[in-house]
Structure 1
Amino acid sequence: METNHKIALVTGGSRGLGRNSAIALSKKGIDVIVTYLSRKEEAEEVVQQIEANGCKAAALQLDAGNVSTFDSFAERLGDLLKEKWNRDQFDFLINNAGFGINAPIASTTEEQFDSLMNVHFKGVFFLTQKLLSRIADHGGVVNLSTGLTRFTTDGYGAYAAMKGAIEVLTKYMAKEFGKRGIRVNMVAPGAIATDFGGGVVRDNQDIRDHLGSLTALGRVGEVDDIGGIVASLCTPELGWVNAQRIEASGGMNL
């Protein structure tokens, strides 16, 4: 059945915040394409959940840290849009794909640094550049940042620095893309109970209790605390919000 739904592309949509964001988008009537690196079965499960919410969905493989693959990804995306939606463009790009490395600056290796840079900054920069012509006028981009750009936690210097670069880049994207009516914002989660960083916040009760004690609302975040914010930034109700950093940390380290 043909629909007039908007279409969102969520990178890293097979798990964690990406998965939750994709499903939240579908609850707002937005069709979703999720990308995955290796978890195809989990991505297909997300597709099924989105379809159960009455929206169209699809999954595409993407290595968000390998710029050399972006040309072929853009071609596959174009083919999918034409085949499934009879469109050449989509409406919202959610740059969510990522991972964490906990290592003090003194012991962070060049390999660790480069892997973080490739996914969290270089990949976001060039994937957005590559897909910009496929984002419809008056669409939007949502970049994922982190609360760690405001407060500090030992071992996340390199990761937070990449996200700090994303926060600056977001403002420049908003300035340049605004000529086409494309809004660009960022969501900065605090400590969230996912498999990020090996699931340390999700699985270690002592860490959960400690982080909760540092948070005004008295607990760590859950994935359901984030996806709805990402989805809301893709709705007309927030259509005048642009170039903003929205921290979703429950009031951590105030």
Structure 2
Amino acid sequence: MADHGIGGKTVLIAGGAKNLGSLIARDLAAHGAKAIAIHYNSAATRPDADRTLADLRAAGVQAVALQADLTSAGACARLFADTVAAIGRPDIAINTVGKVLKKPIAETTEAEFDSMFAINAKAAYFFIKEAGIHLNDNGKLVTLVTSLLGAYTPFYSTYAGAKAPVEHFTRAASKEYGARGISVTAIGPGPMDTPFFYGQEAPDAVAYHKQAAALSAFTRTGLTDVADIAPFVRFLVSEGWWMTGQTILVNGGYTTK
């Protein structure tokens, strides 16, 4: 019988230096992960990575930070190879990488379109590919998407559009990797109380989003808190292994399918 606990497991988290990725790393450390590799995109994020590393090491976890721009297949392959070299083959792989753009279709440039799909779709695809190659049997793979996949709204065409393919990547990978006991899921948070959200939104839109979820009145800001997402990730990479091929919207009733 496979061990689906977190204790003693090795973890790779893309985008693990800050915000939700950092919280997931620290949460899994607190629940017994043995070794964690956190990925960060650029030198600008290195101070965040160092702070997260310090927290992980203080918790007694073997931890390493790895830099990569994941918008090429080669970079995704190197990230997994570097992880294996530093801490061993991962049991758990989590991709929190993403970029948001709020803009009318008529004003969106080709360069913006290409960037959004490279970060949100291409990077996700090749992360899933490399996870299938490098994860140990009975591993767990989770990709962060967006609750806008359940929305009927303007202005997020490239963001929600570039995250939408990840639903099928997840379904296909779950079928292809299932023979090795690997579960593959995606989580779509609602708008989260992080700089990732506020950089794209005008004050009136922020006010709307803060009251749009069915449970908004019972949260600190009205938005999804990263602390509300980490337990769902922990569940899916442990006892929740039987759920696979699914995209779960975790948003307090912000959108649904």
Shorter-chain TM range is: 0.7 to 0.9
State the shift of 1:19 in Å. 1.4
Aligned in 2, Cα 1:100/1:29: closer, same or farther, shift over 3 Å?
same
Q: Percent identity?
A: 30
Cα separation, 2, equivalents of 1:248 and 1:221:
9
Counterpart in 1 of 2:31? 28
State the shift of 1:90 in Å. 0.8
What pairs up with 1:65-76 in 2 under 5 angstroms? Answer: 65-76=71-82
Query: Match of 2:65, SS?
Result: strand
Q: Which amino acid aligns with 1:130?
A: E
Counterpart in 2 of 1:52? 58
Query: Match of 2:186, SS?
Result: strand
State the shift of 1:193 in Å. 0.9
Give me the CA root mean square deviation. Answer: 1.9
Cα separation, 1, equivalents of 2:150 and 2:209:
15
**TM-score when scaled to structure 1?**
0.88
Q: What runs of 5+ residues in structure 2 fail to find an aligned partner?
A: 1-6, 217-221
State the shift of 1:233 in Å. 1.1
1:189-209 deviation digits (Å, cap 9, x = unpaired): 0111111145456xx765443
**TM-score when scaled to structure 2?**
0.87
Counterpart in 2 of 1:217? 215
Aligned residues: 242
1:116-161 deviation digits (Å, cap 9, x = unpaired): 1111111121232234222000001001111101013321111101
Q: Which amino acid aligns with 1:243?
A: G
Counterpart in 1 of 2:97? 97
Q: Which runs of 4+ in 1 moved over 6 A?
A: none
Cα separation, 2, equivalents of 1:67 and 1:116:
16
Cα separation, 2, equivalents of 1:52 and 1:231:
20
Residue 170 (structure 1) aligned with residue 173 (structure 2): no
Aligned in 2, Cα 1:177/1:104: closer, same or farther, shift over 3 Å?
same
Cα separation, 2, equivalents of 1:29 and 1:101:
36
Contact 2:95 2:143 in 1 (8 A): yes
State the shift of 1:12 in Å. 0.8
Cα separation, 2, equivalents of 1:253 and 1:183:
25
Mean Cα deviation higher: 120-129 or 35-44: 120-129
Aligned in 2, Cα 1:250/1:110: closer, same or farther, shift over 3 Å?
same
